[in-house]
Amino acid sequence: MTEHAAPSHCLNCGAAVANNFCSVCGQETVPHVPSVREFFHEFIGHYVALEGKLWNTLALMIFRPGRLTADYIAGRRARYVAPLRLYLTLSVLFFALLHYGPTEFKVVKPAAEAPNRIGLTDKKPDANTVRINSKLIGVNPAWDARIQQITAMPTDEAFALVRSKFFAYVPYAMFLIMPLFALYLKLLYLGSGRRYGEHMLFALHTNGFAFLLLGLIWVAPWTWLGTALFIWLLAYLPMAMRRVYGGSRKATAARWFVLMAMYTITVVAAIVGTVFVTTIVI
């Protein structure tokens, strides 16, 4: 078959075809080798989500708290980027900015600390340091040995190790705790008639917004702009909760306070636990 020959049956599903597209699976009936332009368009449109509807989605998400979730629940969905794709795109961009952005944390190495060629100091950790670590862990000798190994490293190398584990695994941990955020909402709004999927939708939208604002704060060129963005970040969630779930301002504020307390503990535990497991345990 030549590239321009029109087959009588779809090459993908085998259904009979008469037009340019299969009526069953939607594939083109005339196969052709994709051009570079088509590859680029598919990458931009389907993976980075930079189609025209992205700007409508971002504008609504940023300036109308909760409206995006409310529209999606009401069935107005085709005009917006899918919630999961939006969350993943914004979280990837945030961690990329955090990793490669203009500002980096610096660790000052003590002047007396001189690493040797194998990356460890000649000086052994003192007895007090080892004893404290043993009391903190005390359940697995291998963990103690690993902690001693890390504390023997130069400060900048130890920090680089922890930093590499953070960026390699914490983004996945943040995604995996999204169901917990939705569960907290489910518990806080018991009796509202909302299904768990609606809470999950709200979690993806609001956490995606948080990643976007935190990324903008990270690269904000002026202090006043970063402060304004941070204030909007704090005010956003209770406004979104009231738009989506309803209720009085006092009830919403109380739920917001409990939600933030539980979720902050969850995030800290997820980050610390992930870094600990990937650095010490594995």
Do 27 and 43 lie in a common domain?
no
Find, among 37, 34, 14, 33, the residue nearest to 24 by Cα: 14
Do 185 and 227 lie in a common domain?
yes
Q: Looking at the domain assignment, is residue 122 inside a domain?
A: no
d(CA 273, CA 233) in angstroms, rounded, equals 26
Do 85 and 18 lie in a common domain?
no
Question: Which of 48-62, 105-119, 189-203, 261-275 shows the lowest mean pLDDT across its residues?
Answer: 105-119
If one counts the domains in the chain, the total is 2
Do 12 and 44 lie in a common domain?
no
Domain of 171, in residue numbers: 38-106+161-281
Do 188 and 251 lie in a common domain?
yes
Confidence grade of residue 7 (pLDDT, cut at 50, 70, 90) = confident
Q: Looking at the domain assignment, is residue 145 inside a domain?
A: no
Task: Give me the mean pLDDT over the 219-235 stretch.
Answer: 94
Do 22 and 43 lie in a common domain?
no
Residue, of 226 and 137, whose pLDDT is higher:
226
Do 13 and 86 lie in a common domain?
no
d(CA 61, CA 208) in angstroms, rounded, equals 9
Q: Looking at the domain assignment, is residue 113 inside a domain?
A: no
Question: Which of 17-31, 76-90, 240-254 shows the lowest mean pLDDT across its residues?
Answer: 17-31
The pLDDT tens digits of the residues spanning 88-147 come to 999 999 999 999 876 544 444 444 444 443 444 444 545 444 444 445 555 678 888 888
pLDDT at 127: 47
Average pLDDT score, the chain: 83
Q: Looking at the domain assignment, is residue 150 inside a domain?
A: no
Do 6 and 102 lie in a common domain?
no
Task: Give me the mean pLDDT over the 60-66 stretch.
Answer: 96
Question: Which of 16-20, 40-44, 103-107, 238-242 shows the lowest mean pLDDT across its residues?
Answer: 103-107
SS3 of residue 1 by DSSP = coil
Residue 182 near residue 200 (C-beta atoms within 8 A):
yes
Do 241 and 199 lie in a common domain?
yes
Sign of CA dihedral 146, 149, 150, 151: positive
Do 167 and 264 lie in a common domain?
yes
Q: What is the four-CA torsion angle of 198, 204, 205, 208, rounded to 10 degrees?
A: 170
Cβ burial, residue 220 (10 Å; 0-12/13-18/19+):
middle
Q: Looking at the domain assignment, is residue 155 inside a domain?
A: no
191: left (phi over 0), alpha (psi -120 to 50) or beta: left
Q: Where are the alpha helices (DSSP H) in 4-136?
A: 36-42, 52-63, 67-73, 83-100, 127-136
Do 67 and 46 lie in a common domain?
yes
Confidence grade of residue 215 (pLDDT, cut at 50, 70, 90) = very high
Q: Looking at the domain assignment, is residue 225 inside a domain?
A: yes
Q: Looking at the domain assignment, is residue 144 inside a domain?
A: no
The pLDDT tens digits of the residues spanning 74-84 come to 999 988 999 99
Q: Looking at the domain assignment, is residue 185 inside a domain?
A: yes
pLDDT at 184: 98
Do 95 and 189 lie in a common domain?
yes
Tell me the whole-structure pTM to 2 decimals: 0.74
pLDDT at 63: 96
